[in-house]
Amino acid sequence: MELLTPLHWKDYELLDCGDFEKLERFGKYITIRPEPQAVWPRVWPESEWKKQAHIRFVPKNSNSGDWVKLKSMPDQWQIRYELPNHNDIVFRLGLTSFKHVGVFPEQAANWDYIVQSIKSMKQSKPKVLNLFAYTGGASLAAAAAGAEVTHVDSIKQVVTWANENMQLSELNNIRWMVEDALKFAQREERRGNKYNGIILDPPAFGHGPKGEKWKLEDNLAEMMKNVLRILDEKEHFLILNAYSLGLSALVIENLLKATAGDRLMIGELYLQAKSGVKLPLGVFGRFVKHD
């Protein structure tokens, strides 16, 4: 089992984490946000956190909260990430009521893999499907590598945000779909459509645009059955990432082993803090096949 962390961030840094919070730098600005995985004591003292931070998220309940500014900073700003092909992808960040700012930095380890997988394909314009695609980091990486990308998310505002990131990154060739991911995959199977790359980062819980319920433990096996059927047989890659407390990478192995065989890599994504601790942020499985 592999432990992977992104190595090439310049505009992001995990500074410290502990006591169920994390101290992070996004570009010029430093945030304090809740982090349920950080069950250990923080390394740096609270005084250092407050000295460095521009803003802190204070939860009101399990679903929302408020940002409390400690220093002057804008409500929106931008960061960029340099991909292995030296293209920069750009993210517009913002302060949401759900503690998110518009990017999951640990996913950069998967963005690098996406670019390398696409660049090694013989197909001149590989077709890539990004399900549960959020603000589009994986979609941007695939498009920057030359793929034709279909980006699927159930929340219209998030798809609009991803579209904005595409324009900031000076990219195109992304098709936007506001739809339930499972229904979309089922429909693509019925149509006989195939993809050279499929990326999934499903939440533990979620809802489709028409109220469809998603629960990772209940729906993931069905989703993967459909997804594996729309993967191009000759040339493909697949990434399944799951952030759910207590979910083992062996679950991912059991879902993908029959298809991927010895090509399957499973493991855990983490962020290395400047203070020395490692923050686990989800399990993954991925494999690639070249013609």
- List domains and CATH numbers for the chain: 2-76 (2.60.40.1180), 84-289 (3.40.50.150)
Interval 146-158: pLDDT, tens: 999 999 999 999 9
Q: Is 204 left (phi over 0), alpha (psi -120 to 50) or beta?
A: alpha
pLDDT at 290: 82
Phi, psi of 238 (to 5 degrees): -145, 140
Interval 230-254: pLDDT, tens: 999 999 999 999 987 678 899 999 9
* The residue count for the chain: 291
Q: Among 8-22, 233-247, 272-286, where is mean pLDDT lowest?
A: 233-247
Higher pLDDT among residues 14 and 123, named by residue: 14
pLDDT at 203: 80
One-letter amino acid identity for 90?
V
pLDDT at 245: 66
pLDDT at 272: 98
> How much is the pTM?
0.94
Q: What is the 3-state secondary structure (H, E, C) of 86-134?
A: CCEEEEEEECCCCCCCCCCHHHHHHHHHHHHHHHCCCCCCCEEEEECCC
The conformation of residue 227, written as its DSSP 8-state character, comes to H
Helix (H) or strand (E) holding 178: strand 174-178
Interval 78-102: pLDDT, tens: 999 999 988 999 999 999 999 999 9
